[in-house]
Amino acid sequence: MRIAYLSTFYPFRGGIAQFNALLYKELASKHDTVPYTFLRQYPDFLFPGQTQYVQEGDTAERIESKKVLDTANPLSYVRAAKKIAPFKPDILLTKFWMPYFAPSLGKVAKQLSKSGTKAISILDNVIPHETRPGDISLIKYFLNANDAFIVMSDAVKQDLLKLKPNAVFADHPHPLYDHFGMKMQKINARKAMNIPEKSKVLLFFGFIRDYKGLDLLLQAMKQLPEDYFLLIAGEVYGSFDKYEEMIDRMDIRSKVGLNVRYIGDDEVSRFFSVADVCVLPYKSATQSGIVGISYHFDLPVLATDVGGLKEMIEPFGTGAMIKRPHSNDIAAAVKAFFETGTSADSIANIQNYKKNYNWKTLANSIENLYDSL
């Protein structure tokens, strides 16, 4: 089978590029798979982070892809399809996470469908966390350009069926990121980061955006005893000033460790090794790749009961849910996690999850979905 995989690959960086690289390697082990990527992923003014590209010192899966699509130039959409067409793909595989990509990826899919290529998209989100006028029309255009979809949470499935009731799809939980190296000894990791050995360490990891609820977690830290420590690691989208102000106003700076920057792949291990639990205090969500990283390092997850987060945790016993995205509920759930001693059971259950939801099983789902078409 020939698969044209059009999405974010090296030299772009971030969780989506990592996802694509790992799935590409699995698909390429069985099929004739060619990775295609962007000439331009976003215009700079639409990207709120420091850079879209892998920097010196970053560890990245260097997938050699073909640059074909400028998302900001409609003239490139047909040209991109023409560059892919000679490969004669059976599948055009894309990843969709925001309406901005709907016109470009949708047009390529429509063009290639004329020669019999089936378009399958892996949906991170259907309806974005922060909607803008015109988003729904763009999303419908993209969905109608595709033949089938992979959904990784019930929340995404429901959004898909709301906009495309007859959609053909397959469910598969988010696979585990498994390229971040080995877990370190916790005592050594804490010494290296100057964190007291007996602290109860919470990890907030990943891009810092308003919907992820860091403000709620900081408010919860005010309610927790002094032996609780919050480690924040990730690049901020926008400004971190309001969080700095909260930390000072609530006088919790001694209980918070700040690493507000892009975290390279080679650093990820020490952040997850030093923690007792990963906390996702999200105000809204579909699924989260952070859960997959946590499970790779056998780290239980506490998450608010929003979107599809419960589906990634509760059925598998790999952590615990927080009733609401509210600081009181977050503080109560954190205390209960440590007081009930659920960590050992969660870690054992994570081992079972790893066996059943990986890149091979996701690749199999895509193959079966194509066969159903």
pLDDT score recorded for residue 312: 85
Sign of the CA dihedral running 319, 341, 203, 131: positive
Neighbouring CB atoms inside 10 A of 245's CB total 10
262: Cβ contacts below 8 Å, ≥ 6 apart: 13, 49, 50, 51, 55, 234, 235
pLDDT score recorded for residue 60: 63
Crossing angle (nearest 10°) for helices 289-296 and 15-28: 70
Nearest-angstrom CA–CA distance, 196 and 156: 40
Tell me which residue has tokens 């892996």.
Answer: 122
pLDDT score recorded for residue 87: 98
pLDDT score recorded for residue 176: 79
pLDDT score recorded for residue 280: 97
- Strand pairing of 148-151 and 228-233? unpaired
User: Which residues, given as ranges, of the chain have pLDDT below 70?
Assistant: 45-51, 53-60, 286-287, 342
pLDDT score recorded for residue 292: 86
137: Cβ contacts below 8 Å, ≥ 6 apart: none
59-100 confidence digits (pLDDT tens): 667 788 999 999 999 999 999 999 999 999 999 999 999 999
pLDDT score recorded for residue 321: 95
48-58 confidence digits (pLDDT tens): 566 676 666 55
pLDDT score recorded for residue 55: 63
Nearest-angstrom CA–CA distance, 330 and 168: 37
